[in-house]
Structure 1
Amino acid sequence: MTLSETQRDRLAAALAVIACEAGEILRAHHGGDCPHVLKPDGSPSSAADLEAETLILAALAKACPGIPVVAEETCHNVPPADLFFLVDPLDGTRDFLAGNPEYSVNIGLVEGNRPVAAALAAPGLGRVWFAGTSAFEAPIRAGRPDAARPVHARPAPAAGLVALVSRRHGDSETEACLAALPIESRRGAASALKFCLIASGEADIYVRCGPTMEWDTAAGDHVLTAAGGCVVAPTGRPMIYGRHALSYRNGPFAALGDPAYADRLGLPDRGPQTRPLDADAAGAGSGLSPAASNP
C-alpha cells in the first residue's frame, strides 16, 4: 500500500513521541555504570539499548500492528516488506557509555526501499527531529516533543562548507572525499545526529565511507531529505533500504544540505546500491491499522 501525505505526517509525529519515550530510558542510564557486553563484531550493546528497544517494539506493535520491525538488538534478521520499520534504540552506544550526550534514538518507516516517515531523538541534547512530508524539530520537555518548528537545510555558504566528522570513525577514503570539496571548517559530532544538524542548517556535509547499518541512517536520511537536503550513494542516487541479503549493511554515502554538491563527490563504489524487494519478502504482508493512520 502507499501511505497518504496525511498518514505520513501523523505517523512521523507519533514516532517522535515514541523516540522521546525511549530517550527517557536512555537518559536514566546515561552517566552511570550501565551494564554492557561486546557483540561479535566488537560493538557494545548495553542494558539501555535493550530496554529502549523493548519499549519501541511494544509501542510500534500497538500503533502499527502488522508492520514488521527490523531493530538492531533483538530482531535484526527480520526480512523487509512493502512497509517496515528500521530501528536503532541507541545510536552511538560507545559515546553514550563514555558520557557523551550526542547519542540518538532512530526510528524510520520504509515504503518500498525509501523511508517515508521518521523520528530521531537526541535526549542528551533535549532535541527531537521528525519528518513525514516536511521536516520539523522540537525541544523535548517532560519526555515529549514540544512546540515543533519547520527546519530547512541551508544553501552552501560562500565561505565554504562546514563538515561534520565522526570522532571515532575517520578513514583515508573519507578524507579524500572531503579534500575535493571547499571545506571551510570541521566539527566533531557523534551518532546519526549529524544528519539532523545538517537538516537544521547548522552544518553542510557528512561523508561516511566506513561501515554502517541501515538502522543507523534511515531516520536521519529521511529527516534531511524532507528538509531539502539529500543522502547519496556512490552512484549519485539516493540511499536505498531493505537489503536483507546484505544483512542491512550500507555502502559509502554522503549527507548534503545543498544537493548541488552531489555530483562533486568521489565516493568509493563497492557495488550496486539498488535492489528490488528481497525474494524472501515477496508476499510478506504489511498492514496499517487505524491507530497508525490516526495516532
Structure 2
Amino acid sequence: MLLATFKLCAGSSYRHVRNMKGLRHQAVLAIGQELNRRALEGPSPHVWISQVRRGSSLLGSRLEEAPYSDQELAYIRQGEEAMQKALGILSSQEGWKQESLQPNGDKVLSKMVPEVGKVFRLEVVVDQPMDRLYEELVDRMEATGEWNPNVKEIKVLQKIGKDTVITHELAAETAGNLVGPRDFVSVRCAKRRGSTCVLAGMATHFGAMPEQRGVIRAEHGPTCMVLHPLAGSPSKTQLTWLLNIDLKGWLPKTIINQVLSQTQVDFAQHLRKRLQSSPAPEARA
C-alpha cells in the first residue's frame, strides 16, 4: 500500500499521473495517514514522543503551503519516514544496554534493532532553555564545525519548505586515524509540537553532491534528537540523541562501537562549551 502510493506521489509511474494534481494530493495525504498508522502500531511511547507523532500531518499540510516538485515531495516523505522510524525506536524501552555513564550523569545506551542494526542513545540534561538549543542545532547548523571538532563542515545543499533540508556533512578523522575521512548526504527535518522539538534525518541521494575522491560516503540510518524542557526546571533541557550510522568500508565492530559511543559523549561536552561561551542569537522574528 505505502510503496504503491509513494510511486504515485514521486511521479515514478505513468506520465499522465504526474500531471494529475488532485490525484497526487490524495496520494500524499494517504502516505501521511499510512505512516501514522504504522507508527502507532508499535509499543506505547512516552508522552513527549506521542505528542509529536500524533501531530504528524506534515505531508498534506506542506502540499497546501507551496507547489513542490515530485523530487521535493520525495525528500519530504523521506524526512518524515526517518522521524517516524527513529521515534519508534526510542519509544521502546526494552533491550537497552548501558555503554557509558559520565560523572555529570550523561549516559550512552545501545541496542540492536532488526533491519536497522546497532543504535546508540545519548541522554543528557543541558543547563540551557530548549529554544537556545534549537537555535544552535537547527538555525545555526552550518556553524557546527566551529565548536564540534568531530565535524569539519556542514553545508545546506537545498531547503524545502520551512522544515526540510538536504545537507552535506564532512566528518573529521578520528584520533590515530582509526576511522578515515567520511562524508554524509542526508535529508533532515525539524518539527515542534507543544514543548517538544524533534530533529530527524537519514541518508539520501542528491545528484549535485556525488562521492568525493579519497572520502568514503557513509550513511546515517534513522536518527533524531529530541528536545524538551526538564520536568520541574523549564530553564533546562532534556536532550535525547538516537544515533545510527553505517560507516562503510572495513572496520572492526569494536572500533565502530567505541567511536560512535565516544562521539556522543564528546558532542555533549562540546555543545555545553559552545552554549556557555557563545551569546544567544537574537530571537527569530
TM-score band, normalised by shorter chain: 0.3 to 0.5
Which structure is higher in RCO with an 8 Å CA cutoff and minimum separation 6? Answer: 1
| Higher Rg | 2
Larger helix fraction of residues? 2
Larger strand fraction of residues? 2
